[in-house]
Amino acid sequence: MRRFLLTSALVALLPGCGVLANLAEVGKPPQISKTTDPTLDPDWRPLTMPTPAPQPPPPVENSLWRPGSRAFFKDERASKVGDLVTIVVNVNDAATANDNTMEQRTDSETMGVPGFFGLGALVPSFLKGSTASNLVNINSGTNLFTIGQIQRNETVTVRLGAVVTQVLPNGNLVVEARQEMLVNAELRQVKVTGVIRPEDIASDNTVPHDRIAEARITYAGRGQLTEVNEPRWGQQMLDVMLPF
């Protein structure tokens, strides 16, 4: 019996594996993760993109201008693995959607086997009160009326430094930026990954988020305020499992 109760308790705690982490942080603010090499993350994988074959720059004799350079003396913008570039995230997204659905349906089905090689005459003897010509009678009705409304207004403005983790064969740069801010026991985490063109990097070594291909922008939080605003994991399980 004890083994059954222990197993049941462990199974119940599986969906809420973050409970142990939350208990470990009781009485103290969330811990900021250490600054690490993003390529050492177990989920990091080298990115492959469709690129044309690289073309060698044409030789230029007796010229002070370097092929591919955008400055006369030296290009200070990010261009190789390990360089830093500033990503400017300025998201101002608003959307409104309304959906009204009304459905009404009535079905009636009647089935009988009056003949069926003479077996229809045996129906009254097996099913009292039934006849072979009206063996099955099904009636169903459905009424559905739903109203849905979505209103979203999101504004995120942040500047964060990104590191070049990979240079693609066509010269495009794979960048990754991570930033954590701890304010009053609330940890805010920002992460941006994607591919940028060297031509889109401004003279001050910044690039806007809308110039990032395959952009993945994550702005999340962890702490006491976030825990209060989220439903408990038991309620989330019921919302997923209950069919009504």
- Quick one: what percent of the chain has pLDDT higher than 70? 62
pLDDT of residue 28: 67
Whether the model pTM is above 0.85: no
pLDDT of residue 94: 73
Identity of the amino acid at 160: L
- The beta strands (E) that lie in the chain are given as 84-111, 136-167, 173-183, 186-196, 206-208, 213-223
Q: Of 149, 180, 210, which residue sits at a domain end?
A: 149
Find all residues with CB under 8 Å of 150, minimum gap 6, and list them.
95, 96, 97, 98
Q: CA angle, 206 as apex, 202 and 211 as ends, to 5°?
A: 80
**pLDDT (mean) for 207-220:** 90
Q: How sure is the predictor about 212, in pLDDT bands with cuts at 50, 70 and 90?
A: very high
The answer to whether position 229 is within a domain reads yes
Is residue 142 domain-shared with residue 238, that is, in the same domain?
A: no
Q: Where are the alpha helices (DSSP H) in the chain?
A: 2-13, 18-24, 123-126, 224-229, 233-241
Is residue 140 domain-shared with residue 173, that is, in the same domain?
A: no
- Number of domains, the chain: 2
Q: How sure is the predictor about 88, in pLDDT bands with cuts at 50, 70 and 90?
A: very high
Is residue 234 domain-shared with residue 113, that is, in the same domain?
A: no
Q: How sure is the predictor about 192, in pLDDT bands with cuts at 50, 70 and 90?
A: very high
pLDDT of residue 75: 67
Q: Of 121, 149, 177, which residue sits at a domain end?
A: 149
Query: Judging by DSSP bridges, how do beta strands 173-183 and 186-196 pair with one another?
Result: antiparallel
Determine the straight-line distance between the first and last CA of the chain, rounded to whole angstroms: 33
**pLDDT (mean) for 35-49:** 83
pLDDT of residue 205: 92
The answer to whether position 65 is within a domain reads no
**pLDDT (mean) for 44-72:** 70
Range of the domain at 120: 105-149
Q: Which two tokens stand for residue 216?
A: 């993945």
Q: How far is CA 73 from the centre of its chain?
A: 44
